[in-house]
Every structure is written in structure tokens, then in C-alpha cells.
Structure 1
Amino acid sequence: MVAYRAREAGLPKLKELPLDERIKLVEDLWDSIAADRIALPLTATQRTELDRRLDAYALDKNPGRRSSEVLADIRGRL
């Protein structure tokens, strides 16, 4: 509860920052989380899903589509 109150106290100050600075702050925070990803192991559910997807790929060998093709399709629909 103390951490929540501390977070609540800082929230108004964060909202005073310009949008671009808040976005940069979130990006930096996310990068720091990604750098510590080893500290957050996969859950049993995530591991099961990952195994399921790897097994499906092993069976059909379908590599999917290039991201450039997918993006072109999406842009064509806009």
C-alpha cells in the first residue's frame, strides 16, 4: 500500500511533463525491463504456448510472411 501511495503522489507530476518526455520515459522504462527479462522467467502457461507454437512450426514448416508483405497488405486496406 505504501508503494501505491508513493506512485499516486508522483502521478500528478508525471502528467505535467510534455507528452514527448512521458513517451521517452516509458520507452526507457520498458528498455530497462527488457534488459532484466532473465529476472522474469516464463510462466507455465507461456511455456506451454511457446512449446505448442514450436511444435506446430515443426510440423508444417510454414515460416509465415515477411513483415514487409504484411505491412503492405495493411497499408493497402487503409
Structure 2
Amino acid sequence: MAYTSSTPVEEIKRHMTLEDALHTRIDMGVCKGMTLEEISIKRFPNLRWYVYGYRGNDNILRAAAQIVWDSLQEGNKAG
């Protein structure tokens, strides 16, 4: 399934793997050039912002951030 930045977030989330989400690269702001995996390790508050505060037009970034966030929350519940 191919998707674009304008594809609805829920549709992207149905097809994007956690690995794809972790490798999503940020192309703006203080985290420019970092992947969501790097952000989840080094700049965790920024990951939360991409999930709850990001208001840009990139639904791929929005979906990827939610997938990474959800996986970390599930990991915390299991531990």
C-alpha cells in the first residue's frame, strides 16, 4: 500500500510497520535530520509533541509518531 502525506492517519497506521515508523526522518525544526527512533531515545519530550502537538500537514509523520508512541506505551505496560 502506497500512501502520501495527505493519506488519512488511520489508513497509514493500518499499513505502516513499527520499523517504518522508527525510520521516519524529521525534516523540520529542532529535530531536523533525526529519525523517530533517535528522538524516542534522545529527545523523548519531542516525540510526545509530534503525537499531541504537531499541527503540520504531514500525516506520515503524524502516523509514524503515534505508532512509535503506542509501542513505547505498550512496552511500559508489559514491564
Query: TM-score w.r.t. structure 2 length?
Result: 0.31
Query: Between Structure 1 and Structure 2, whose CA radius of gyration is higher?
Result: 1
Higher helix proportion (structure 1 or 2): 1
What TM-score, normalized by structure 1, do the two folds share? 0.31
